[in-house]
Amino acid sequence: MPDPAVITVLGVAGSLRKGSYNRALLRAAIELAPSTLRIAAFELDAVPLYNGDVEAAGDPPGVAAFKQAIVAADAVLFVTPEYNHGVPGVMKNAVDWASRPPRGAPLGGKPVGIIGASPGMTGSARGQSQLRQAFEFTDSYCMPQPELLVFRAHEKFDPAGTLTDEATRSYLGRYLVAFEAWVRRLRD
């Protein structure tokens, strides 16, 4: 039985890289989440490129698992890198699968949050705002504020991928408190 006192969140990082700052940021979110917000990471390795013919024959196992995990969670936290001033294909592809079918899609009516990291000065800002646009079409409830942009990410994580920057840890903690309140407002 789900515990109504706990908000469950599916955490999705849009990078497949072992040393990914965004996957590391998701691990930090799992660590720093309030005790009433439970985040579980979903890895996108098994989600193939979207193909309408494949979809028509039935969702591949990686896609079915992803969509079921979204349905089962109260909310989804997307942790996105920025590629060429936009959302990386890995992340956009996953969102595209989860936006199907158009009526009754797992992302429809789902509370979502966006955070992200990049070694540059903008901390994935443009990737985040492009992703936010996609959630207009999926009819998801994307938390407007606060934002979390982890800029100069290479200075904020140690070589093992632990978020060591105290200010960023503190911002992330406050972001997660706000996200929990956002999800509760929509759920309760």
Ligand X SMILES: Cc1cc2nc3c(=O)[nH]c(=O)nc-3n(C[C@H](O)[C@H](O)[C@H](O)COP(=O)(O)O)c2cc1C
Q: Least distance (Å) from ligand X to the CB of residue 117?
A: 6
Grouping H, G, I as helix, E, B as strand and the rest as coil, residue 18 is: coil
161 contacts ligand X (rule: CB under 6 A): no
Is the separation of the CB atoms in 150 and 121 below 8 Å?
no
Does the protein bind ligand X through residue 118 (CB under 6 A)? yes
Beta bridge partners of 115: 79
Question: Is 42 a binder of ligand X (CB under 6 A)?
Answer: no
Helix (H) or strand (E) holding 113: strand 111-117
Tell me which H or E stretch contains 186. Answer: helix 166-187
- The interface mask with ligand X, positions 78-97, x = CB under 6 A, is ---xxxxx------------
Told to check if 122 binds ligand X by CB under 6 A, we report yes
Among 7, 10, 11, 20, binds ligand X (CB under 6 A): 20
Position among 7, 12, 15, 87 found at the interface with ligand X (CB under 6 A): 15
Instruction: Name the phi and psi angles at 37, rounded to 5.
Output: -125, 110
Scanning 44-52, 56-64, 115-123, 157-165 for contacts with ligand X by CB under 6 A, the matching segment is 115-123
For residue 171, which of 76, 29, 30, 15 has the smallest C-alpha distance?
29
Which residues sit at the interface with ligand X, rule CB under 6 A? 15, 17, 20-22, 81-85, 118-120, 122
